Amino acid sequence: MNIILTGYRCTGKTSTGRRLSARLGRPLFDTDELILHRTGKTVEEIVAAGGWPAFRDAERAVIRNLSLLDGGVIATGGGALIDPRNVAYLRENGLFIWLTADAATIAQRLEKDSNKRPSLSGKPVVEEVQEILAQREPIYRSIADLAIDSTTRNVEAVATLICRSLPAQVPRAALIARVKEG
């Protein structure tokens, strides 16, 4: 089974994925990095050349390939799971962990992030984060098997919480029930 990290930009998916990969001895697959490797272009370059639909097409192809793997940690892009096809591909063999943070924290992290990310709406950062979060949170919530707030937690604390929720002897269905009840 794959561990799939999802959530909005700058909630810690890639950083947490690196830590989980090391702790669990599983390979890490970051969809944005795989898109760069496959296309030779950054997210910003793909969006500039073909718009967000071109990027989403490249993302879907990468996710389809990843869904065939087992035992990995997959860090998805913030918008990857707005496409129901991507959810269906990954759901077949994956546990979705939704990393959350409040809008103000996300906006601060985005402004400090050296990784250039193209705007999703063309609006100021804080306004865009609030708007896109409002659209995406119901999607993230509906697919999440586990949600962890990274607003005040460092990567190590987030990874520890995830590891505590992944005991090998607990079947997936039991884990989902336990997490949603607790």
Q: What is the DSSP string of 101-161?
A: --HHHHHHHHHH-SS----SSSS-HHHHHHHHHHHHHHHHHHH-SEEEE-SS--HHHHHHH
Nearest partner of 79 among 51, 97, 60, judged by Cα: 60
Taking every pair of Cα atoms in the chain, the longest distance, rounded to a whole number of angstroms, is 47
Distance CA 138, CA 144 (A): 10
CA neighbours within 13 Å on the CB side: how many for 70? Answer: 3
pLDDT by residue, tens only, the chain of 182 residues:
899 999 998 999 999 999 999 998 899 999 999 999 999 999 889 999 999 999 999 999 999 999 999 889 999 999 999 999 999 999 998 999 999 999 999 989 888 875 666 667 777 788 889 999 999 999 999 999 999 999 999 999 999 999 888 755 334 433 343 343 33
Domains of the chain: 2-181 (3.40.50.300)
